[in-house]
Amino acid sequence: MTDALSTLPEPRHPDPADAPPLRWGVLGPGGIAADFTDALHRHTRQRVVAAGSRSAERAAAFASAHGVERSHGSYEALVSDPEVDVVYVATPHSEHLEHALLAIAAGKHVLVEKPMAVTASEARRIVAAAREAGVFAMEAMWTRYLPQTDIVRQLLEQGALGDVRVVTADFGGRVEYDPASRLWNPDLAGGALLDLGVYTVSWASFALGAPAGIIAAGTLAPTGVDDQVSLVLSSADGAQALLSTTLRATTPSLATISGSEGRVETDSPFWGPSGLRVFRADGTLAAEWRDPYGRPHRDGMAYEAAAVARYIAEGRTESPLHSLAEAVDTLATLDEARRQVGATRVE
């Protein structure tokens, strides 16, 4: 087992530039859409060919700033564009259901920014619509497609960590309180869990699968959204995930998986390109890895876009690394955590 930990597997993801090119339409030209578009254009052969907004001026400004050929002054015009192969839904997650269904009804493949919807029931509606239409659909949990994540995935597949018992992850950022802003407004599905905590719950799902037990404790903002939450998720065999998220303080953004034969610890941030260290059961360092690929921060979104292009070319309708069912299960966990802390829910 020591040898398995001392020699880390190589990431199996090919260069994003090798993925077949697709023509993307961006629905919702905000900050994350800007980073996504720039990452695609820098690191892949994918091209964003159209941007759509309810404001024609905003769509045109985005297109001009990010080298996009066309802009549309409505979401309906964007999804109807015959030159668009796949739609990236980048609006606030309170709008994901409406906009994903709009793109699917137009026959477009969809990549929906995380979380896929506000609740598990909404996500199920997206999944059902995509399956009925026969189009590809995926939640944009880009962490799953990073090289470092594939190293951890292989360690888990090989059983190199032994019997996994404890998983940890945190993600918190200090956000100024503004009751009208997206993160604090219940009408916009605000709160720490849906915006930041989804990454930690997805990490636990990656390591342990859907939880058999959920315990959540937290605090609420004056608007009723959750502003800080800690969770204990338990698997059927008694393994546990210890997770935390907050809008009140910046936390390390680290994640670990500990088993009977060793543990893996990520660098910060665990959700973006970084690195990792692997330790033996006696606590000694076995190996470490630092991301060498020069796609830092949100440039790492190029990996998920390349994965989408490959999956569509292969005729798939969902990701083999992060299934639609898992995206729904993650939201079901968030639903229950929000219920337990008494957060305002958006149905």
Catalytic residues: 114
- Kindly state the tokens that stand for 47: 């091209």
d(CA 263, CA 268): 16
Helix (H) or strand (E) holding 309: helix 301-313
285-290 and 275-280 as β-strands: parallel, antiparallel, unpaired?
antiparallel
226-234 and 213-220 as β-strands: parallel, antiparallel, unpaired?
antiparallel
Cα-flanking dihedrals φ and ψ of residue 87, to 5°?
-110, 130
List own/partner pairs for 231-236 with CB under 8 A and 24 or more apart. Answer: 231/197, 231/200, 231/201, 231/333, 231/337, 233/201, 233/204, 233/208, 233/333, 235/208, 235/209, 235/211, 236/212
Alpha helices in 106-233 (DSSP H): 120-133, 147-158, 192, 198-208
Assess contact for 22 and 86: CB atoms under 8 A. Answer: yes
Task: List the beta strands (DSSP E) in the chain.
Answer: 23-27, 47-52, 70-72, 86-89, 109-113, 137-140, 164-172, 213-220, 226-234, 240-246, 255-259, 262-266, 275-280, 285-290
